[in-house]
Amino acid sequence: MENRVILQEWFDRVDSEKSGSITAVQLKTALAVGNLEFPLSVVQQMIRMYDFDRNGTMSFQEFVALNNFLLKVQHAFSDLERLWEKLVSCWILLLFTLSARALIKVKMGGFGWMT
């Protein structure tokens, strides 16, 4: 609920003309303020995906749907990032283990303990 209030405040700020809907240009400008630079064509595509009444602009309800989609994408990337970090950790552990074994083998072989 609190999230929805924050979204409404954000939406109202972007809807500078108080028309009850936001245009692609307004959305692009607002995203750019948050360091999210998208070409206008991409922002237009975002709006088209959730422009349920096909009027070319985004109502608050449509904006909430778009926001939910973007959050899911963000979570998917976070999951991928965590998976990548685990894979890198496994590779480091594997390389360390192999290096340690090779070092032990060389040292033991050097003393004639191992062939």
Q: What is the footprint of Ca ion within residues 80-109 (CB under 5 A)?
A: none
Is there binding between residue 51 and Ca ion (CB under 5 A)?
A: yes
Which CB sits closer to Ca ion, 31 or 65? 65
**One residue of 9, 12, 53, 79 binding Ca ion per CB under 5 A:** 53
Q: Which is nearer to Ca ion, 61 or 74 (CB)?
A: 61
As a whole number of angstroms, the distance between CA 20 and CA 62 comes to 11
Tokens found for residue 15: 């809807």
Beta strands in 8-66 (DSSP E): 21-22, 58-59
d(CA 57, CA 20): 10
* Contacting positions for Ca ion (CB under 5 A): 51, 53, 55
